[in-house]
Amino acid sequence: DAGITQSPRHKVTETGTPVTLRCHQTENHRYMYWYRQDPGHGLRLIHYSYGVKDTDKGEVSDGYSVSRSKTEDFLLTLESATSSQTSVYFCAISDPARERNEQFFGPGTRLTVL
Amino acid sequence: GENVEQHPSTLSVQEGDSAVIKCTYSDSASNYFPWYKQELGKGPQLIIDIRSNVGEKKDQRIAVTLNKTAKHFSLHITETQPEDSAVYFCAASMKASGGSYIPTFGRGTSLIVHP
């Protein structure tokens, strides 16, 4: 997995609690992304970052915030988790300077909100 | 925004048969079309991609075709093997500010290859 780690890999939490997921890369890629994957919905973009402190919303950003204070780290925060946010979350990276525009995905974090 | 439809949602074939997965997209500005394979418990991985200035691309047993006029593209896998069993995602992308491509994914096709 192209130098991408996600932590934690599994988490169970209760409705209303804050949750932060971390993505760490060692590839020095400029772009980082957070997706959620749900049965029947494929991969849906939550937020992405195109540089340190530069972020933008994806199609399902409500209820989520992100921060990127260093090139290598991209944090996803659920301020007050809800059961609808139970999902598998994937981080991805890419870099427009590379010849190929592919995204490299992390191993995923399975989040369960009770 | 972009909308990508992918069919079928499940595809079951016998080893050695061919498999075809089809996608359509809505935004004519999309110009980069990657395909990802996701094995159980792992993140998706790029297997092939095609740009809008090319109609077909092949890599060993995998090929992708693109019809810009009709806004559809397809993945073809020949001589399928059990290790091809996975979920496959198509995506349509256009260049975002900063130069990278932000893909919109289809909902995925679960391919099952029976030995």
In chain B, whose CA is at the least distance from the CA of A59? B1
Q: Do A50 and B96 make contact, defined as CB atoms within 8 angstroms?
A: yes
Q: Which residues touch A57 (CB under 8 Å, ≥6 apart)?
A: A47
Helix (H, G, I), strand (E, B), or coil: what is residue B2? coil
What proportions of chain B, in percent to the nearest 5, are helix, strand and coil? 5, 60, 40
Question: Which chain A residues touch B102 with a CB distance below 8 Å?
Answer: 45, 48
Structure tokens at A98: 């590379």
Q: What is the spatial distance between Cα B34 and Cα B63, in angstroms, rounded to a whole number? A: 12
pLDDT, tens digit, 9 for 90 and up, residues A11-50: 999 999 999 999 999 999 999 999 999 988 899 999 999 9
pLDDT at A97 over 80: no
CB A1 within 8 A of CB A54: no
User: pLDDT of chain B along its 115 residues, tens only?
Assistant: 889 999 999 999 999 999 999 999 999 999 999 999 999 999 999 999 998 888 899 999 999 999 999 999 999 999 999 999 999 999 999 877 667 788 999 999 999 999 9
Alpha carbon of A67: minimum distance to chain B alpha carbons (Å): 18
First to last CA, chain A: 30
pLDDT at A1 over 70: no
Higher pLDDT, A2 or B35: B35
Angular region, B65: left φ>0, alpha ψ -120 to 50, beta rest:
beta
Which residue among A31, A101, A105 places its CB closest to the CB of B44? A105
Task: Confirm or reject contact between B43 and chain A (CB < 8 A).
Answer: yes
Structure tokens at B51: 């740009």
In chain B, whose CA is at the least distance from the CA of A40? B107
pLDDT score, position B95:
79
Helix (H, G, I), strand (E, B), or coil: what is residue A41? coil
pLDDT at A81 over 60: yes
Instruction: Give the pLDDT mean for A70-84.
Output: 97
Q: Of B111, B103, B86, give the one whose Cα is nearest residue B49.
A: B103
A87 class by beta-carbon count within 10 Å (0-12 exposed, 13-18 middle, 19+ buried): buried
The DSSP line for B28-55 is TT--EEEEEEE-TTS--EEEEEEETT-S
How far apart, in Å, are the Cα atoms of B48 and each of A17, A61, A77, A99, B24? 40, 29, 32, 14, 17
Q: Do B105 and A100 make contact, defined as CB atoms within 8 angstroms?
A: no
DSSP state letter for B96:
P
User: Torsion over CA of A45, A32, A23 and B83, rounded to 10 degrees?
Assistant: 70
